[in-house]
Chain A
């Protein structure tokens, strides 16, 4: 027993040291990214073309990524935060400026994604993928005219039939949008109004889920759900009766961008990687294989019609204008969010 134990320990130890010292490429890039957000083939091709090996580490929420970067600081060269976290990290001086002139393919980024409030002049971020958070409606359970705008969610027939994201920004944002305010509203009075309004919505909510909301709408547990377009896209693929509505009051947009955290070491590799990803052909491949919209203007000639013309993936221009990007909030506003969120959830 004892010899067996020591033998296992020893072999394990040797194995791990062998594994950890086995590699030794000169050029590496430590990429910290949402999981399932960068296909292996693309990384392999990049390594083949440039000789740079990519170490990939994954996260599943902006919050967790932020906490790790904030606490640890070093170890990662490239991260992919969403717009509000780009804003937050930029304001807190956690990012290295990016010189877009060094990125020859930056010209392909559509102007509606550059120069946003969370990063004026794109000094710190380069857009990667974007999408929306709007209403998915199962029209086989509900006449389509029942829900035509966010204000309709308060209708009594939706009691216990609604899904909202498990995320304070999106939920309180819904209240703000319904009342006609900005999703990044900071006025405490308006926030209070949004909270009062949302309190009345609680009986309608059956589920709070932002991980896999398509599940609940596909199985018919809920009739309407506020979810991001990737989920709605899959739900619609499985059941054509599920429609995606960009409400007239407006909706929130998300944009994930490449940023370099302070503490990044392999800066050149990071630039080369961004430039590689922004090639229209690569961007089109990525958009197609992960199923999100690319902010790259060059992708349209490579994308199949059914994707290009799918309003869930690429919202029509007249709808897109009502979208608003999430930006970071100041500490005092966050305090209010915290207070309201706990009250919404705990009652």
Chain B
């Protein structure tokens, strides 16, 4: 393929992905309460946002939940993908089925069924129930992503390692995990996104003392997007992007 065509295409996709964000960013600087037409430049919305401690707290909650649920889902999902691919055990096909079912259930169904479960278990609604629910939302996505990666694996390496006396844990830790790393990272990223974006499941599974951001945003949008929501999105985007870049840097220095 021609180099220019290639980068032109990729550039086009990036433009498609970023144009709406540019709109969000531009309107976060718009000096109009209802953000429908451009009315001049202002930083007011960022100042207001900074002073809106309540909104900042919910944003913080969201980040904590998204990071924890993504991590937990990645651990569980990678484990599930591993056993699905490497072992034969009773109910293996059923496990596949369950993963697909979890993935295609509409939000409201997951939300209500998990809520019924929490009520049956007398779990008080709050951080823990929200974490469990978000993990349930993300796990199948991780499992499928990682599982698809295992397929391209050279099985001879694993066999060689076993012949050389590696135990299952060592095989997993030293061979499988490093090879699957891109998919594991991809799974984490997908989970983080899903969790940060979820409205309906969060609404039903959290309690009054652990509000998360999408709930706020979702209902704020009903009244027309106000510039402070736009500003918040820009800030969140910058925070998550920097956090990721920093962790990458740190990890690189270590290894």
Contact = CB atoms under 8 A, between A and B. Distances in A.
A and B touching (Cβ–Cβ under 8 A): yes
B219 A59 contact: yes
Contact of B54 (A56, A68, A231): A56
B222 interface: yes
15 contacts: A4-B251, A8-B71, A20-B127, A30-B209, A35-B216, A36-B223, A40-B52, A58-B215, A60-B215, A71-B112, A71-B115, A71-B116, A72-B115, A75-B207, A234-B224
B218 interface: yes
B36 interface: yes
Interface stretch (A170-178, A209-217, A330-338): A209-217
A60 to B, nearest CB: 3
B219 A76 contact: no
Interface in A213-238: 214-215, 218, 230-231, 234, 237-238
B101 interface: no
Contacts of A67: 112, 204
Closest 6 CB pairs of A and B: A35-B219, A60-B219, A57-B208, A30-B208, A211-B222, A55-B208
A76 B68 contact: no
Contacts of A76: 208
A20 B204 contact: no
Interface in B203-255: 203-204, 207-211, 215-216, 218-225, 247, 250-251, 254
Given A30-B208, A55-B209, A238-B37, A9 B119 contact: no
Interface string A1-39: 100110011001101100010000000001010111000
Which has the most chain A C-beta neighbours within 10 Å: B116, B126, B216?
B216
A53 to B, nearest CB: 11
B158 interface: no
Most-contacted residue by chain A among B218, B225, B247 (CB, 10 A) = B218
A64 B126 CA distance: 17
Contacts of A72: 115, 119, 125
Interface residues of B, number: 38
The majority secondary structure among interface residues of chain A is: helix
B127 A16 contact: yes
B38 interface: no
A16 B218 contact: no
B186 interface: no
B71 to A, nearest CB: 6
B171 interface: no
Contacts of B222: 35, 60, 211-212
Contacts of B71: 5, 8-9, 12
A247 B216 CA distance: 34
A40 B58 CA distance: 14
Interface residues of A, number: 39
Nearest to B255: A1
B50 interface: no
Contact of B67 (A12, A40, A58, A237): A12
B34 A234 contact: yes
Interface in A185-230: 211-212, 214-215, 218, 230
A23 to B, nearest CB: 8
A75 B125 contact: yes
Given A16-B64, A55-B209, A57-B211, A68 B203 contact: yes
Contacts of A36: 219-220, 223
Given A4-B251, A237-B34, A215 B127 contact: no
A32 B208 contact: yes
A212 B208 contact: no
B219 A214 contact: no
B67 A238 contact: no
A211 B215 contact: no
A215 B36 contact: yes
Nearest to A65: B203
A212 B221 contact: yes
Given A35-B219, A237-B34, A12 B224 contact: no
Interface string B112-135: 100110010000011100000000
A238 B64 contact: no
A12 B68 contact: yes
Contacts of B126: 20
B164 to A, nearest CB: 23
B209 A20 contact: yes
B251 A1 contact: yes
A73 B177 CA distance: 45
A34 B219 CA distance: 8
Contacts of A55: 208-209
A75 B208 CA distance: 7
Interface in B192-211: 203-204, 207-211
B4 to A, nearest CB: 37
A237 B39 CA distance: 13
B208 A211 contact: no
Contact of B219 (A5, A58, A215, A237): A58
Contacts of A214: 34, 36, 224
Contacts of A56: 54, 211
A40 B57 CA distance: 13
Given A59-B203, A234-B34, 14 more contacts: A4-B247, A12-B71, A20-B127, A20-B210, A36-B220, A57-B208, A57-B211, A71-B116, A71-B119, A212-B225, A214-B34, A215-B224, A231-B224, A237-B34
Contacts of B208: 30, 32, 55, 57, 75-76
